[in-house]
């Protein structure tokens, strides 16, 4: 059942974390959180052969929060958690809570602190567990077996549940300061009664010992409070900075996706796709226009460029020739027009490929017929 140890521990810590935020040690508050989380369903779904090992696992995990070094409120929450889990387990007979003998002194001290603080519900729950004989006192806190690893992997403790260092405040209390002040005054009186004249060699103690000791403890307590507040502020600042950096990275990634890659055009419009140029700092409208259509010259312009006729032939070619003029009786004029027309047709057919050979022969024959007539 070790495969689900981490999940069980995370569930217990979540319950105790919610109980810690209430800043209360009442069982009524704990039971309300228990019902809201439906924590009794943690035993549902286990097979018959797994009920006892799972109950042992979850009780051992919850028992850790009932012992030091956790704070008093977390230990109270651990006690309530043990009580609730013990009565909700599905194993029959119920699995007992394993408790080492070395930890019994801490339990009795915890009971004494609850009695001094008049936490009656804590005392009632603890004594009811003792009356039901739910604790199984053992020599070792963990179950030992043959050929088992001596050093088991220990998961780190939750720092939020740890009790702050308060040894100086516990050691230097008001009663101790009063007793120390009385002893110091008695010592000074006895010293003056022995030697009436004040001698520097006999001044072995400090006169302001008690006030200075008290001020030192108070300075330590104030420094501890100030350190806690600074840590909270630093954590808030770091969280805000991380959020701003994440937002900036998100905006940068969106911009890089939008401007760094040209959109892929569809196949039907791929001939109109634009090319993105990052080298030019000033991209004019001419750079973004893409491939422009190249206009081809007309047939007339190409003919004028390729066909060149000099002299009287060009004048005759440019003038319009009528069909009735081909049948003139003037032999000279007819001969001139005949040769001019044939020359024009020959040049056009050879240079521009405008007239096919069959049409060319027909035109020549018709000219010859008209010329004969």
* Residues facing 137 on adjacent strands: 99
Q: Quick one: pLDDT at residue 312?
A: 62
At 334 the three-state DSSP class reads helix
Q: What's the CA dihedral at 223, 228, 229, 230 to 10 degrees?
A: 80
Q: Quick one: pLDDT at residue 279?
A: 46
Q: Dig out the tokens for 302 from the structure.
A: 């190409």
Give whole-number Cα distances, 73 to 32, 77, 327, in Å: 16, 6, 130
Q: Quick one: pLDDT at residue 47?
A: 86
- Whether the link from the prior residue into 93 is cis, omega within 30° of 0, is yes
Listed residue (169, 209, 168) closest to 187, CA to CA: 209
Tell how strand 135-138 and strand 97-100 pair up: parallel
pTM over 0.95: no
Q: Crossing angle of helices 299-306/331-351, nearest 10°?
A: 110
What is the chain's length? 373
Listed residue (115, 107, 40, 42) closest to 79, CA to CA: 107
- Whether the link from the prior residue into 69 is cis, omega within 30° of 0, is yes
Residue 99 host element (H or E): strand 97-100
Q: Quick one: pLDDT at residue 289?
A: 45
| DSSP characters over 204-221 | -S-TTHHHHHHHHHHHHH
**With contact defined as beta carbons under 8 Å apart, do 259 and 251 qualify?**
no
**With contact defined as beta carbons under 8 Å apart, do 53 and 1 qualify?**
yes
**With contact defined as beta carbons under 8 Å apart, do 45 and 95 qualify?**
no
Q: What is the pLDDT along the chain (373 residues), one digit of tens a residue?
A: 677 888 999 999 999 999 999 989 999 999 999 999 999 999 998 888 899 999 999 999 999 999 988 889 999 999 999 999 999 999 989 999 999 999 999 999 999 999 999 999 999 999 999 999 999 999 888 777 776 665 556 666 776 777 665 667 667 778 888 888 888 888 888 887 776 665 656 667 777 888 888 888 888 878 877 877 776 666 666 666 777 778 788 888 887 777 665 445 555 555 554 444 444 444 444 444 444 455 777 777 877 777 666 556 566 656 655 555 444 444 444 555 555 556 555 655 555 455 566 666 666 676 566 554 3
Contacts (Cβ under 8 Å, ≥6 apart) of 202:
191, 195
CA distance 284 to 82: 76
CA distance 33 to 21: 11
Q: Quick one: pLDDT at residue 26?
A: 95
């Amino acid at each position: 059942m070790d495969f689900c140890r981490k999940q069980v521990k995370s569930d217990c810590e979540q319950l105790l974390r919610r109980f810690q935020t209430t800043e209360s040690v009442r069982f009524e508050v704990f039971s309300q959180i228990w019902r809201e989380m439906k924590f009794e369903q943690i035993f549902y779904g286990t097979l018959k052969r797994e009920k006892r090992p799972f109950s042992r696992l979850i009780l051992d995990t919850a028992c850790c929060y009932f012992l030091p070094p956790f704070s008093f409120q977390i230990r109270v929450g651990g006690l309530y958690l043990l009580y609730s889990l013990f009565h909700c387990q599905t194993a029959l007979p119920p699995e007992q809570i394993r408790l080492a003998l070395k930890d019994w002194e801490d339990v009795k001290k915890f009971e004494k602190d609850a009695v001094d603080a008049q936490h009656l519900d804590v005392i009632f729950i603890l004594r009811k567990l003792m009356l039901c004989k739910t604790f199984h006192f053992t020599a070792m806190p963990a179950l030992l077996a043959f050929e088992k690893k001596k050093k088991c992997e220990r998961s780190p403790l939750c720092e939020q549940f740890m009790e702050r260092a308060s040894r100086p405040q516990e050691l230097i209390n008001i009663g101790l300061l009063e007793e120390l002040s009385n002893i110091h005054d008695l010592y000074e009186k006895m010293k003056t009664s022995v030697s009436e004249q004040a001698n520097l060699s006999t001044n072995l103690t400090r006169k302001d010992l008690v006030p200075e000791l008290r001020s030192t403890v108070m300075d330590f307590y104030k420094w501890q409070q100030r350190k806690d507040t600074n840590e909270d502020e630093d954590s808030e600042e770091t969280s805000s900075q991380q959020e701003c950096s994440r937002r900036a990275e998100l905006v940068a990634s969106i911009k890089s996706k939008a401007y760094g890659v040209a959109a892929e055009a569809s196949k039907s419009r791929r001939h109109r796709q634009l090319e993105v140029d990052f080298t030019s700092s000033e991209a004019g409208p001419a750079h973004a226009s893409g491939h422009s259509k190249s206009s081809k010259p007309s047939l007339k312009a190409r003919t004028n460029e390729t066909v060149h006729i000099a002299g009287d032939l060009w004048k005759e070619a440019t003038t319009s020739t009528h069909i009735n003029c081909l049948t003139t009786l003037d032999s000279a004029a007819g001969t001139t027009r005949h040769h001019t027309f044939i020359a024009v047709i020959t040049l056009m057919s050879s240079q521009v490929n405008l007239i096919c050979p069959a049409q060319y022969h027909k035109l020549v024959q018709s000219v010859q017929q008209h010329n004969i007539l």
